[in-house]
Structure 1
């Protein structure tokens, strides 16, 4: 041992962050273990290393017989009886009692000491010091790496592919720090070639015997969030937030975004000028399609948007079952469901609602077979659906309609909606409950509803709700045409009208 050891310890403390005291204590423990293996070694001893010169000496501890017996009894009592081996399940005898250095230090005033340093111990000490220092360096580096990455779970990292086999891909994060990309966390169809730069999400960090194990993933939905944070400044600044992500890795993803600043379009911010921002994300995901959906607290509107790119006509929500029945045009059914149900599955994950998709024809046939029982309509949307029944969604506060844009558009046409029941074969009871149902025109409309001529009139096909196919506000033309047509039919059948009034 020499002063060079002390200098090496100082360098390690400055460059590696390893405590000098920790190194010296480890060195003393290693020297003591090496001493006990020499022939004629003392039963109880300790090793002291001079922090200034690097010199060391072995000190034999002379215990009085009474103290030794007392300490051995204490150790045996702590060890207890025979224990079960966890590997074999068999009983095993307790290990022979051994008095540790901490226990001996408590009785230092009763223990004698003498120098027992072997004359030929220098070579053994030098080899031991080298091994201890190298071991402590490796342990310190592993501990520092573990401390650094255990707090980074969920973060995006960039690494370089080192090698790949059937089980995992090895990704180098930085010098002497590597991560594992298991087969189960890889995207189907992606290739990882040597030297290729990849981005991934840290999913797990564990401390193993050989060092920390860092697991990364390319399938995690957090990868979508992190990539958009890199490309969209509004997300990084907190002006736009990604509310939720639903992903089918390698095929399609849907993200719901919301704006926390007035005047900031969340969808436009994520798409970027001419689609530049979303294009960068798609490129990193190797062509995976991404649908950006505006988040809405109104379930019906949110579910309708989540089924993009399909056009939705109506959404009926059941709050108790948290299920949404979506009605789409016949030509949009396959697009709404998606290949192998992918689009519907992603929409359900994104919204958290069970989604049942029906075509207009299928829905109308089912409702015609089942029929409607008399039900409470107070507080419900006043819009009439394609099947001629009243929308079951709850109306918004201060409005007679629910949150669907096509139903809200009816608010601007309150003056024309009186004739709407005559257009769509609506139930007379529903019209009578609306505030404007007391108008005389409503009575004429009831006569028209009973007249079989109306069923052949082309006006029946101009139901105002049909505008929901385009998801655009209704214009007043169909309602006006119906209002003009009703008096004409009444004029042709004056006797029928008079008879109805008498009844």
Structure 2
């Protein structure tokens, strides 16, 4: 029987071109299964086969568990550590206790089981071998032939015994992928499941579109043109943002091609129904958004950088075109630019702006106790919060026509008083005097630190440089200087103690 094991291992290893160790593991698994069938399926069995002689030993084993471990299920396969200690065993939690038991013969039943296990192991090894050749191609285009299709998706034959799967949700709506058809897709991931690794292909992913653009537009692969982003509604519409790296290159014209030949090839690969808009990227976000909203013509834009939102005004007669069917145009433009876009008619945009401006004027009149004229000037000059009035550098204030040092000082004092009252009413943290008047500190930074729980010099001294850079939004040099200044009393105390 021992020689038979060696014979089986040699034969299968040579036939299937897999390692002998893999076959030995399959034989051990099969013998363990046969042993459990004889003595009881509840037990845990380990079989060890000698790789040179074919001799094998069988062990029954128990996993050592903590007495309070809720995962303890059965004494058939597990043992509590207290019980093991009582038996005089020197073991640790997570290890195994083993006892030798009589081995079953590598007879007909064991051989039959071994055959099933070996076949499964060989298939798994073959699949892993094939898939490993594709691991470096994740994120790239692949092409194959439709092997079969069902309600879950489509199996693709990539050649050389390699198969991939397109789940239904990764297909383009309207895709008619019949058996034998050649199809291209993006190798999205290699997913592990009970049957081994499985290659997943997507045709709905936005990167499928950008990879097709790279394939059809040589200027992209030559780095004359960069694809800056893309947004896609599979099967319906998409937007791709591009920029030229050379002054004499027209990025939109290059992507569209002569008489639209290049973009038509891409569209055909996407099923023939997906419209692809090529958008000119711009470093100025307002200009970029205007380009992304095409074909709609943007007449006005109000930008809120803090909230990353924009109010976009268009002609009331073109409002439906700007929004798009089901909000598609504005949604794609928003995905492409990364900003939240609120599309409205010019009249609505102006009314909203005026309402927000008036609300700001009313805030300044109420909190700063100034008249409407002064409040209006502050709003027109870009002051949008009380913090702006309280902590914007004096030089910027003095640049406003009609504002002198006395007026600026009074406005700053009133704004700081209003903020202090607001903080007290909301039970917010306030900076202590030592932090507020520390060398190198300014009021704006002190209040920002206090809102993050750093209220005293002692609190500041305990911070790390990278933490302070993130909280205070300052550079590393200033952060390090402030921390060392805050720690100065520590060193003074040490010197006194030594003295």
Give the counterpart of 2:301 among 290, 293, 315: 315
Q: State the distance in 2 between where 1:379 and 1:336 align.
A: 29
Q: State the distance in 2 between where 1:45 and 1:204 align.
A: 36
SS at match of 1:340: helix
Q: State the distance in 2 between where 1:190 and 1:94 align.
A: 53
Q: State the distance in 2 between where 1:221 and 1:359 align.
A: 31
* Equivalent position of 2:19 in the other structure: 19
* Pairing 1:231–2:216 present: yes
Deviations 1:178-215 (A, max 9, x none): 33323322332332222222222233322222222333
Q: Which runs of 5+ in 2 are unaligned?
A: 40-44, 80-90, 92-101, 359-375, 384-399, 403-499
Would the alpha carbon gap of residues 25 and 324 (structure 1) be closer, same or farther in structure 2, given more than 3 Å must change?
Answer: closer
Q: State the distance in 2 between where 1:223 and 1:181 align.
A: 13
* Pairing 1:153–2:135 present: no
Work out whether residues 83 and 94 of structure 1, in 8 Å CA contact, stay in contact via their aligned partners in 2.
no
Shift of 1:355: 1.6
Number of residues paired by the alignment?
Answer: 342
Q: State the distance in 2 between where 1:345 and 1:214 align.
A: 31
Coordinate RMSD, CA, aligned: 4.4
Q: How does 1:62-73 map to 2 (within 5 A)?
A: none
Q: State the distance in 2 between where 1:189 and 1:57 align.
A: 58
Shift of 1:220: 1.0
Shift of 1:117: 11
Structure scoring higher RCO (CA < 8 A, sep ≥ 6) equals 1
Q: State the distance in 1 between where 2:345 and 2:307 align.
A: 21
Q: Which runs of 5+ in 1 are unaligned?
A: 51-55, 62-70, 98-102, 104-115, 381-429, 433-503
Q: State the distance in 2 between where 1:37 and 1:341 align.
A: 63
* Equivalent position of 1:184 in the other structure: 169
Q: State the distance in 1 between where 2:308 and 2:47 align.
A: 73
Give the counterpart of 1:272 among 254, 257, 261: 257
Q: How does 1:386-425 map to 2 (within 5 A)?
A: none
Would the alpha carbon gap of residues 289 and 375 (structure 1) be closer, same or farther in structure 2, given more than 3 Å must change?
Answer: farther
Q: State the distance in 2 between where 1:34 and 1:369 align.
A: 81
Q: State the distance in 1 between where 2:212 and 2:234 align.
A: 14
Work out whether residues 57 and 117 of structure 1, in 8 Å CA contact, stay in contact via their aligned partners in 2.
no
Give the counterpart of 1:205 among 176, 190, 207: 190
* Equivalent position of 2:85 in the other structure: none
Q: State the distance in 1 between where 2:154 and 2:257 align.
A: 33
Give the counterpart of 2:64 among 56, 78, 102: 78
Q: State the distance in 2 between where 1:117 and 1:351 align.
A: 68
Work out whether residues 316 and 346 of structure 2, in 8 Å CA contact, stay in contact via their aligned partners in 1.
yes
Shift of 1:48: 4.0
Would the alpha carbon gap of residues 93 and 263 (structure 1) be closer, same or farther in structure 2, given more than 3 Å must change?
Answer: same
* Higher gyration radius (CA): 1
SS at match of 1:313: strand
Shift of 1:292: 0.8
* Pairing 1:342–2:328 present: yes
Shift of 1:369: 7.5
Structure 1 length-normalised TM? 0.56
Structure 2 length-normalised TM? 0.56
Would the alpha carbon gap of residues 298 and 192 (structure 1) be closer, same or farther in structure 2, given more than 3 Å must change?
Answer: same
Q: State the distance in 1 between where 2:219 and 2:347 align.
A: 43
* Equivalent position of 1:242 in the other structure: 227
Deviations 1:133-181 (A, max 9, x none): 5344223113224434455433322232233333323333335443332
* Equivalent position of 1:143 in the other structure: 128
Q: State the distance in 2 between where 1:126 and 1:210 align.
A: 22
Would the alpha carbon gap of residues 374 and 59 (structure 1) be closer, same or farther in structure 2, given more than 3 Å must change?
Answer: closer
Q: State the distance in 2 between where 1:37 and 1:369 align.
A: 80
Q: State the distance in 2 between where 1:243 and 1:318 align.
A: 23
Q: State the distance in 2 between where 1:248 and 1:343 align.
A: 10
Q: State the distance in 2 between where 1:210 and 1:193 align.
A: 25
Give the counterpart of 1:291 among 255, 277, 283: 277
Give the counterpart of 1:354 among 330, 340, 343: 340
Q: State the distance in 2 between where 1:92 and 1:312 align.
A: 70
Q: State the distance in 2 between where 1:343 and 1:214 align.
A: 33
